[in-house]
Each structure stands twice: as C-alpha cells, then as structure tokens.
Copies of this chain bind each other. A is one copy, B any other.
Amino acid sequence: MIEQDERSLTAGKSALVLFSGGQDSTVCLAWALERFESVETIGFDYRQRHRIELECRIKVRSEIAAAFPDWAGKLGEDHLLDLGVLGEVSDTALTREQAIVQKESGLPSTFVPGRNLIFLSLAAAVAYRRGAGRLVAGMCETDFSGYPDCRRDTIDATQQALSLGLDTAMQIDTPLMYVDKAQTWAMADELGGERLAEIIREHTHTCYLGERDTMHEWGLGCGACPACELRAAGWRRYREGSAGA
C-alpha cells in the first residue's frame, strides 16, 4: 500500500508543464527538467490559427531529448487534449454591452476570457491522474498586462481553488512571471547554454502570421507582426547585454 506521505513525496518531484511549443513554454520545460525528477507535458489543440504550433511541440521535445541526455531520462509523456470547445465559447454571441467592453479593452471579439483558468483546471486533472503535484506554466505579467488571467494573484487564487477541489496540494510554478523577453533568453542560456538557445531559435514558433521561411538571428518568423517584434526586441536587448536592466 502506498502511504499518503510517499505519494506527496513523489508528487513534489513530478511536474506537468503547460507546453505550447513556443519560446516561453520551452524555457519553462527546461526549467522543470533542471529541477524535477519526472516531467510530463500537456498541450491543447484549440484549432490554433497555425497548426505549425502543434508540430513545434513534438519537434522541440525531441530536439531537447537529443541534445540533453540528463534531461532525456526525466522527460515523460506528452498529453495533447482536444480543446475545440474553446472555439464554441468564442462563437457565443457577445451582448452589445460586452462587445463595447471588449472593444474598449482592445480585445478581439473571439477572445475567450479567463482561458488560462480553463487550461489550468484541465492540466490539474491530468496532473492528478499522473501523480504530479506541480504545474509549470509560462504566464507572465511583464508582457501581457492586458490579460488579467496571466497575473500572479489570479494564479495564486487558481492554485488555491485547484488544491481544495482536488483535496491535494497542486502548486502552480510560473518561472517567467516577472521576467521580460530579454531575461527569458538569459534564462534559456543559463539552463541549457547556446544549444538550448539554438533549439528555441530554430524550432519554436512565435509569429502571428505563421511564417516559417525567413530565418532571423532571433528565429523564424515574418519579423513584422507584434509577436515577432517582441521576440526580436528581447533578443536584441539580451545580445546587447542589457538583460535585466
């Protein structure tokens, strides 16, 4: 019989990483592999505009496993859940009032508010079944201040709700919460050196337009959309040695 204490011990050493195949969640995956004994990944197919993201998830995992033998032994299963329901939610008609509220906030009409809470509650259910007591997720207050479900106080409350609802401690680690894009590159370097930075540049996806033909020094992408601009600016600041400034 497995004692509760033994389970807790195991749970504290196992983590489930919310892994989209992008730069931020790749750094989160490396962060978890550096710390925990066993690391699994979870992703959501919510009919992303660019299916390339889902392919990047698989490629990045295999590149990491090939490049880092110490991590390869810890990297466990990948779980990809079909979250087409997110599209059903975003198809729900906005009321006139709500359409105005969203427009004034600069949010698209298809925005699903609080979607990180949906991701986290599904991830927590999978983590529970897999005996993992920690979720690792790339939410960040620095870049996405417009999304209230990325703030740490929201994550704290979610952690509390999940731990009560599962009747077991479910910690949510957000290693990028107060880190900007330049510092994220620095973290990647600390965790996995130049080889990890290379994997991020070559195999993760950021571009809103889904462009994968042009290689820049910071990675693949159109170079002009807001996501590419953010990534490129972070890279330049990191290279200029101004990370953390």
Contacts and interface: CB of A to CB of B under 8 A. Distances in A.
A86 B39 CA distance: 22
B118 A122 contact: yes
A161 B166 contact: no
A82 B88 contact: yes
Contact of A165 (B97, B104, B148, B165): B148
Interface secondary structure of A, over-half rule: helix
A197 to B, nearest CB: 32
A227 to B, nearest CB: 22
B161 A154 contact: yes
Nearest to A102: B129
Contacts of A129: 89, 92-95, 98, 113
A110 B207 CA distance: 38
A121 interface: yes
A101 B128 CA distance: 10
